Amino acid sequence: MTSPLMVADQVWVTTTTEDHIAPSTHRDDLRRAAALPDRRAREFLAGRGLLRETLAALRPALADADITTDPRGKPRLRGHPGVGISVSHSHGALAAGVAVGRAMGVDVQRPGTSVTASFARRLLHRHARRIAALPPARAAEEVAWVWTAQEACVKASGAGFAGRPWTIDVPPGAPTGRWGDYRWISLRDRSALPLSCAFLWPTGD
């Protein structure tokens, strides 16, 4: 996926890898990256590059806007509170999300080769037994899919880890679901890597 994919009304997700995106050269992004270790700085600028490229494709006037973060680290476009944005990185994989008129979060994960039973129980709770019989790599992949949905939800809400993402009920194999006022979607039919987004769902919809 290299161009923005609309996953819901006014909600888009883009994903790529670090070696397929030009890092951001925005003055503010460069200033922030200068305070980071080299590897983290490269990852940060690649993520911002993907986000700005996504904005340029959808809302060109916003592509050069300053990006701020709230006290919990949720990114925001300065002067454009009605546009939700999100970025995710995982071992060279990148994802960016943009939503007009609502908050949103996106998360991508490269699965490990296996997953411990205790970690699976922590994320899956009553569903953990459903992956216990899977081959190790397949179990790790499914846990990663679940985690991306959980993480996308707390990113969308702005709570981050304080929102206790591991407590959000995401059944293995589920393509979509709800968490309070948020809807999450796992892009199982669109992405080779576990990739999910979440966004505020309008009241009454």
For residue range 88-118, what is the model confidence (pLDDT) as tens digits?
999 999 999 999 999 999 999 999 999 998 9
Whole-number average pLDDT of the chain:
93
Q: pLDDT at position 162, please? A: 87
Q: Where are the beta strands (DSSP E) in 66-162?
A: 67-69, 75-77, 83-90, 93-100, 104-108
Task: Report pLDDT for 201.
Answer: 84
Residue 186 in this model has a pLDDT that exceeds 90? yes
| Interval 129-140: pLDDT, tens | 888 889 999 999
pLDDT-derived band at 50 (thresholds 50, 70, 90) equals very high
In the chain, the percentage of residues whose pLDDT exceeds 70 is 98
pTM (predicted TM-score) = 0.94
Would the pLDDT of 170 be above 80?
A: yes
By CB atoms closer than 10 A (0-12, 13-18, 19+), residue 100 is: middle
Greater pLDDT, 123 or 96 = 96
The Cα-based distances of 187 to 81, 106, 197, 200 in angstroms read 26, 11, 8, 17
Quote the pLDDT of residue 133: 84
Burial class (CB in 10 A: 0-12, 13-18, 19+), 126: exposed
User: Is residue 204 scored above 80 in pLDDT?
Assistant: no
> Cα dist. 124→71, 109, 129, 181, 195 in Å?
29, 16, 9, 21, 17
